[in-house]
Structure 1
Amino acid sequence: MSTSPFTGRLSGHGGSHAVRIARHHGADTMFTLSGGHVFPLYDAAVRPEPTMRLLDVRHEQTAVFGAEGIGKLTRRAGWAVLTAGPGVTNGVSGVATAHFNGSPLVVLGGRAPDNRWGQGLLQELDQPPLLAPITKRAWTVHGADRIGPAVDEAFGLANAAHRGPVFVDVPMDHLYGESEVELAGDAPAADRSPDTDALAGIARLLSEAKRPVLLLGSDVWMDGAEQVARQVAEELGVPVITNGQGRGVLPAGHPLLATRARGLALGSADLVVVVGTPLDFRLNHGLFGGRDGAPPAKVVHVTDSPGQIATHLNLAGAVSGDLSAVLRGLGDAVKPDAEVEQWRVQLAETAAAATGSDREALASDAAPIHPARIYGELNRVLDDDAVIIGDGGDFVSYAGKYIEPKLPGNWLDPGPFGCLGTGMGYSIAARLARPSSQVVTLLGDGAAGFSLMDVDTLVRHRLPVVMVCGNNGIWGLEKAPMQMIYGYDVITELTPQTRYDEVVRALGGGGELVTRPEEIGPALRRAFDSGVPYLVNIATDPDNVYPRKTMGV
């Protein structure tokens, strides 16, 4: 795998140019759903001998989520190929999700041919304007000899900080067309050195702070800074909260991990240093402090590129660049205040108390089943390197509280765009990227309706995944708020105990319905031992909804 632009000669049809470039950039799987506009790409993947895995799905949304999942797990752009018109539009939600997640992704779309454009061709649609607002770049390639350079540029853009999706479409006649082209591969590498003055200012703030918090997000993982982040946190003794794929940078049980004391930590901090995640609704838009009369906290934003620095509030400091260099620079420069140790102990005691109070819910014998009991049982059987995928609302909120990854990068959820339906695509990606690890996908019963048909894809490609469905028969995130606002609710009910497990069995996998708490553990063990896509469909209490707080999970 190379991170450099392609150098060399390309010959053959346009599809072969694209596939060779994608392979150069580390893409070994093409996520797709068959369409005539992109046949040359399939031809190049299998002839004269197989050079790339074709992973065909049942809905283009899953193809894009699968490719995005590869980007999340490998930190190199995944590749989705979508046929023209509805193939592309079906993938838009996946591209938008990658945009908000900062996931490296390249989507190549088919397009009606140039030589008949404007004559009302099948699936004739000018697609880049639809994708432009949610991509780093979206454009059309006119000419077979331009396909290779365009795909090379697309992968370079997607993999460069701040990472994200890139879209390029190719008219059908050019994709089939033959050409030869020489690529020089001379794009210069960007300088990502952090500003030393900005770094020094942040170091002073950290040295003066008495109640600092270090908040680590997904870009710490995506930028390869997870080891440095842990080292610096331990050297400084600063309490840490994690979110997204930053979860696991400090593993469960680490004495500096303050996630279970999140309310106290972010409400009473005098300085919050946010690294590698936006100051969005998940972080109360960066409005920290103020608890029990405490003054507002100073906020520092550290990002992988200048365009990610928050502009909606007055920051005490900000710096962008290579996150390992930023964190190492802070570690070398900061001399923590002596009172930080007292703060760390206070948060550790609060976190320990919260963990202790969890035990009753995690072991609950209530019937109908308390959702927390599912996670009490799941934590007993999860390996340290398990990949956990959350696709749901209320049910996955419980997962965020009760499951703490042991390793970074292994927690996947829809992210701030909140798009349900990521589960099957991420499951496929996880099984490909982590072939020896457990893959567990947590589905709300609402989310299951978005993508469960792609269990067929898991079965056909022999990709065993354990799926756990929290089935409470309602849209949990909507029912209670609507009742609070209006005193009643409508269109928030689903059919209780729908047999999603039988859907999975009909598609060739395995599954069972669980209605009693003591049945959960044995069912999970059967799922892991099955060697097939297996859904444990657990009927949970619809009256037990996740308690919402201002700063979320």
Structure 2
Amino acid sequence: MQLTGAEILIECLKEQDVDTIFGYPGGAVINIYDALYKHQDEIRHILTSHEQGASHAADGYARATGKVGVCLATSGPGATNLVTGIATAYMDSVPMVAITGNVPLALLGKDSFQEVDITGITMPITKHNFIVKNVKDLASTVRRAFYIAQEGRPGPVLVDIPKDITAQITEYIKEEPIAIEKVTEYITEEDINNALELLQNSQQPLIYVGGGVICADANGDLVAFAEKVKAPVCCTLMGLGGFPATHELFTGMIGMHGTKSSNLAATKCDLLIAIGARFSDRVISKVEAFAPNAQVLHIDIDPAEINKNIRSHYHIIGDVKEVLKRLNKKLAPQENQPWMEQVKTWKEKYPLGYKKDGRLKPQYVIEKIYEMTKGEAIITTEVGQNQMWTAQYYKFTKSRTFISSGGLGTMGYGLGACIGAKIGNPEKLVINVAGDGSFQMNSIELATAIKYNLPIIVVILNNGVLGMVRQWQDLFYDKRYAETDLDRGTDLIKLVEAYGAKGYQITEESQFEEAFHKALESNVPVVLNCIIDKTENVYPMVPAGAPIENVITEG
């Protein structure tokens, strides 16, 4: 059948079972939007307030559903406004396809109006990207983009389409998507047997879990593995929800803002089993002091991560779920009683905690959210102190319920991601925890939540400062608070109400429960502006570059 390039694009999206696109129109994509208009009953378009909001919403949709997130923007500034969201998805291995328009082929490379080399700009932050210069290649390119975004280690792919390509006509033949096969060809019996020998000889093992467990949907296999090994389990920020936080083997997050028990376990273990984790600098800190007594077994789908930051003694490259299944099949139950008693002692001696002094505490707010949602909400966050308090005090027990920018640390990410997560899971409660600095970066997306009647809840931990930067200034820069006091005088409640949302100002603990209860029963977006003290810091904390056992605790 003869179709225009724009119509072929829509048909290819339908082939991939795309039901939602987040975007913002412009001249270079007007033909695509015209085709979308004709197929609005099959593909829902969410008009965000800014292209960055579209990219974050596509990212949040992907993380919360496990499907590919799709965003669409015009050429020039529309395309460059996607860049931060694409980089966010790339750092956290999120499957996304970003579609951009560009100027007609004859105008490429001539500094034409709203022209940028978006494939050149995004080359370092995509798994792959394409510019389509022949309409006959469009269908195969889109299909390949979706395949690349999902196969192996997921990530974003960009497809740039010049405007005249969307208008040209060629033959379209429908195809079924290529099945995504698990990466198993590098998993050998020798590797499995070596891992089993390590496990059997270890007396003090520690399982270190990253976001790869969630990507692989390997939660159940991980629990079975941990219970067989009888090992404590810690996780990275991106691994939250990959192992139930309520499980007796769980020791909490590891690294800069991890628990002291996790950091001590990493320092004292004789075998570190890294599963779907990349040994980020925020986890390992001082390389030569990280797990100094341990052999390292690294299980990951991406061979590029092996020996990149930490040398592994043994590794298995492949789909995490498949590796764990094979290990579980052969692994005899272990007993590491003295080690487990030691870890239990650390957990009891160094629990997470905070001083209650009558003021509204951010930790209390997060604990109350967990209590009132019974741990069943999807939580998105912004970046900074709000993110760390959420990671520490909300007990995530299921995958795809903690959604946050880990690798890039993108302020302004959370609200767009919250919208995307809610669109992908309309039946679930979705809450964004924010700082006042991050919230004001992309607060315009409240208009999107209002337009589509999304009853999301935003909880702002408002300390009037850029909290995490101020914390570093407080601890390491002799209290020189350079440009971290916001003091803008913005009335956030009036701002929220101007968008059409409900807003509640909260200054005391006794007010929070009532306001949050109202938010839970509301059918419109609600913002809870919780005023907290600007001197409140995130603890525990390991100074950058210090051994992770050197934990600063409050007081």
* TM value normalised by structure 2: 0.91
Relative to structure 1, is the Cα distance of residues 287 and 50 closer, same or farther in structure 2, using a 3 angstrom cutoff?
Answer: same
Unaligned runs of 5+ in 1: 1-9
Mapping for residues 418-437 of structure 1, pairs under 5 Å: 418-437=409-428
1:344 aligns to 2:340 (yes or no): yes
The residue type paired with residue 283 of structure 1 is V
Deviations 1:62-103 (CA, angstroms, capped at 9, x unpaired): 101111112212222111111100011111011111111000
Structure 1: distance between partners of 2:377 and 2:288:
32
Relative to structure 1, is the Cα distance of residues 365 and 528 closer, same or farther in structure 2, using a 3 angstrom cutoff?
Answer: farther
Relative to structure 1, is the Cα distance of residues 184 and 405 closer, same or farther in structure 2, using a 3 angstrom cutoff?
Answer: closer
Counterpart position of 1:224: 217
Mapping for residues 42-57 of structure 1, pairs under 5 Å: 42-47=33-38, 50-57=41-48
Structure 2: distance between partners of 1:147 and 1:421:
33
Counterpart position of 2:87: 96
Mapping for residues 76-225 of structure 1, pairs under 5 Å: 76-182=67-173, 192-193=183-184, 194-225=187-218
Q: Is the Cα–Cα contact under 8 Å of residues 440 and 465 in structure 1 kept in the other structure?
A: yes
Deviations 1:6-60 (CA, angstroms, capped at 9, x unpaired): xxxx641111211221222232111101212112222222315622001011111
Equivalent residue of 2:299, what SS?
A: strand
Structure 2: distance between partners of 1:230 and 1:42:
46
Structure 2: distance between partners of 1:122 and 1:128:
17
Match among 317, 325, 328 for residue 328 of structure 1? 325
Relative to structure 1, is the Cα distance of residues 211 and 95 closer, same or farther in structure 2, using a 3 angstrom cutoff?
Answer: same
Relative to structure 1, is the Cα distance of residues 51 and 490 closer, same or farther in structure 2, using a 3 angstrom cutoff?
Answer: same
The residue type paired with residue 498 of structure 2 is A
Equivalent residue of 2:54, what SS?
A: helix
Structure 2: distance between partners of 1:372 and 1:279:
27
Structure 2: distance between partners of 1:48 and 1:476:
45
466-475 vs 516-525, greater mean Cα deviation:
516-525
Q: Is the Cα–Cα contact under 8 Å of residues 497 and 539 in structure 1 kept in the other structure?
A: no
The residue type paired with residue 411 of structure 2 is L
Q: Is the Cα–Cα contact under 8 Å of residues 275 and 302 in structure 1 kept in the other structure?
A: yes
Structure 1: distance between partners of 2:239 and 2:107:
49
Structure 1: distance between partners of 2:331 and 2:344:
22
Counterpart position of 2:247: 254
Structure 2: distance between partners of 1:529 and 1:187:
43
Deviation of 1:243 after TM superposition, in Å, equals 2.9
Structure 1: distance between partners of 2:238 and 2:136:
39
Counterpart position of 2:440: 449
Q: Is the Cα–Cα contact under 8 Å of residues 65 and 425 in structure 2 kept in the other structure?
A: no
Relative to structure 1, is the Cα distance of residues 540 and 273 closer, same or farther in structure 2, using a 3 angstrom cutoff?
Answer: same
The residue type paired with residue 464 of structure 1 is P
Match among 431, 448, 454 for residue 440 of structure 1? 431
The residue type paired with residue 509 of structure 2 is P
Deviation of 1:384 after TM superposition, in Å, equals 3.5
Deviations 1:205-263 (CA, angstroms, capped at 9, x unpaired): 11111111112221111112122112222233221112345322332321111215312
Counterpart position of 1:272: 272
Structure 2: distance between partners of 1:173 and 1:390:
40
Structure 2: distance between partners of 1:336 and 1:458:
50
484-493 vs 274-283, greater mean Cα deviation:
484-493
Relative to structure 1, is the Cα distance of residues 126 and 210 closer, same or farther in structure 2, using a 3 angstrom cutoff?
Answer: same
Structure 1: distance between partners of 2:428 and 2:334:
42
Counterpart position of 1:5: none
Counterpart position of 1:524: 516
Counterpart position of 2:256: none
User: How many residues are paired up?
Assistant: 535
The residue type paired with residue 210 of structure 1 is Q
Unaligned runs of 5+ in 2: 253-258
Structure 2: distance between partners of 1:289 and 1:63:
41
Deviation of 1:498 after TM superposition, in Å, equals 4.2
The residue type paired with residue 74 of structure 1 is T
Relative to structure 1, is the Cα distance of residues 407 and 113 closer, same or farther in structure 2, using a 3 angstrom cutoff?
Answer: same
35-44 vs 75-84, greater mean Cα deviation:
35-44
What RMSD in Å do the two structures reach over aligned CA positions? 2.3
Counterpart position of 1:394: 385
Match among 224, 227, 232 for residue 234 of structure 1? 227
Q: Is the Cα–Cα contact under 8 Å of residues 58 and 454 in structure 1 kept in the other structure?
A: yes
Counterpart position of 1:297: 294
Deviation of 1:500 after TM superposition, in Å, equals 2.0
Relative to structure 1, is the Cα distance of residues 183 and 421 closer, same or farther in structure 2, using a 3 angstrom cutoff?
Answer: same
The residue type paired with residue 455 of structure 2 is P
Counterpart position of 1:488: 480
Equivalent residue of 2:250, what SS?
A: coil
Q: Is the Cα–Cα contact under 8 Å of residues 304 and 323 in structure 1 kept in the other structure?
A: yes
Equivalent residue of 2:464, what SS?
A: coil
1:307 aligns to 2:300 (yes or no): no
The residue type paired with residue 328 of structure 2 is G
Structure 2: distance between partners of 1:205 and 1:17:
53
Q: Is the Cα–Cα contact under 8 Å of residues 83 and 110 in structure 1 kept in the other structure?
A: yes
Counterpart position of 1:283: 283
Structure 2: distance between partners of 1:403 and 1:173:
50
The residue type paired with residue 14 of structure 2 is R
Deviation of 1:183 after TM superposition, in Å, equals 6.2
Relative to structure 1, is the Cα distance of residues 146 and 537 closer, same or farther in structure 2, using a 3 angstrom cutoff?
Answer: same
The residue type paired with residue 330 of structure 1 is L
Equivalent residue of 2:407, what SS?
A: helix
Relative to structure 1, is the Cα distance of residues 286 and 39 closer, same or farther in structure 2, using a 3 angstrom cutoff?
Answer: farther
Deviation of 1:418 after TM superposition, in Å, equals 0.7
Q: Is the Cα–Cα contact under 8 Å of residues 26 and 76 in structure 1 kept in the other structure?
A: no
Equivalent residue of 1:55, what SS?
A: strand
Relative to structure 1, is the Cα distance of residues 95 and 509 closer, same or farther in structure 2, using a 3 angstrom cutoff?
Answer: same
Equivalent residue of 1:416, what SS?
A: coil
Q: Is the Cα–Cα contact under 8 Å of residues 103 and 165 in structure 1 kept in the other structure?
A: yes
Structure 1: distance between partners of 2:389 and 2:89:
24
Relative to structure 1, is the Cα distance of residues 51 and 104 closer, same or farther in structure 2, using a 3 angstrom cutoff?
Answer: same
Deviation of 1:132 after TM superposition, in Å, equals 0.5
The residue type paired with residue 126 of structure 2 is T
* TM value normalised by structure 1: 0.91
1:542 aligns to 2:538 (yes or no): no
